[in-house]
Structure 1
Amino acid sequence: MFGEMGLLVYTAILMVLITIVYKFSSIARYYLKFIFFGVASVIMASAPIPLMLIKPRDSRNGLIPAAGIRMACRLIGVKTSLEGHEHIVRNSGCVILINHQSMLDLLVLAELWPAMDNCTVIAKKEILYIQPFALAAWLWGTIFIDRVKKEDAQAAVNKTGRTIRTRKARVLMFPEGTRNQKEKLLPFKKGAFHLAIASRSPIQPVVVNRYRFLGKHRFDNGHIRVKILPPIATDGYSADNIQELIDKTYKVISENVDLISKEEDDKMKKD
Structure 2
Amino acid sequence: MAPSCFEVILVASILVLPFLYETSRTFRYYFKFLVYYGVVMVNALLLTPYFCFRPYNVRNLVVASSWCRHVNSLLGLRWELRGREHLEKEQACVIVANHQSSMDILGMFEIWPVMDKCTVIAKKEIFYVWPFGLAAWLCGLIFIDRINSDKARTVINEATQDIKDKKIKLWFFPEGTRRNTGDIHPFKKGAFHVAINSQLPVLPVVFSSYYFLCKEEKRLDPGRIIVTTLPPIPTVGLSTNDVEALMEKTRQKMTETLHATNLEIQQSPTANKRHIE
Tell me, yes or no, whether TM beats 0.5: yes
The residue matched to 2:187 in structure 1 has which SS? Answer: coil
Shift of 1:45: 2.5
Deviations 1:21-70 (A, max 9, x none): 11111111111111211121111223111111111111121123212222
* 8 Å CA contact 1:119, 1:172 repeated in 2: yes
Q: Where does structure 1 differ by over 6 angstroms across 4 or more consecutive aligned residues?
A: none
2:241 corresponds in structure 1 to: 240
2:228 corresponds in structure 1 to: 227
Shift of 1:95: 0.7
1:94 corresponds in structure 2 to: 93
Matched, 1:26 2:25: yes
Matched, 1:167 2:157: no
Equivalent residues in 2 for 1:182-261, closer than 5 Å = 182-215=181-214, 216=216, 217-261=218-262
Which one-letter code corresponds to 1:12 in the other structure?
V
In structure 2, what is the Cα distance between the partners aligned to 1:166 and 1:97? 20
Which one-letter code corresponds to 1:251 in the other structure?
Q
Shift of 1:155: 0.8
Which one-letter code corresponds to 1:116 in the other structure?
M
* 8 Å CA contact 1:84, 1:229 repeated in 2: yes
* 8 Å CA contact 2:223, 2:271 repeated in 1: no
The residue matched to 2:267 in structure 1 has which SS? Answer: helix
* 8 Å CA contact 1:57, 1:138 repeated in 2: yes
Shift of 1:13: 1.4
Shift of 1:190: 0.3
2:263 corresponds in structure 1 to: 262
Which one-letter code corresponds to 1:56 in the other structure?
P
Deviations 1:198-256 (A, max 9, x none): 11110111111101111121111111221211111112322112111011100111100
Which one-letter code corresponds to 1:230 in the other structure?
P
* 8 Å CA contact 1:161, 1:198 repeated in 2: no
Which one-letter code corresponds to 1:152 in the other structure?
K
Structure 2 stretches of 5 or more lacking a match? none
Which one-letter code corresponds to 2:258 in the other structure?
V
Q: What is the TM-score with the length of structure 2 in the denominator?
A: 0.91
* 8 Å CA contact 1:60, 1:140 repeated in 2: yes
Shift of 1:259: 0.9
Structure 1 stretches of 5 or more lacking a match? none
In structure 1, what is the Cα distance between the partners aligned to 2:26 and 2:272? 27
In structure 2, what is the Cα distance between the partners aligned to 1:64 and 1:118? 11
2:105 corresponds in structure 1 to: 106
Tell me whether 158-167 or 254-263 shows the greater mean CA deviation. 158-167
* 8 Å CA contact 1:101, 1:180 repeated in 2: yes
Q: CA RMSD in A?
A: 1.8
Change (3 A) 1:265 1:146: same
Q: What is the TM-score with the length of structure 1 in the denominator?
A: 0.93
The share of aligned pairs that are identical, in percent, is 38
Aligned length: 270
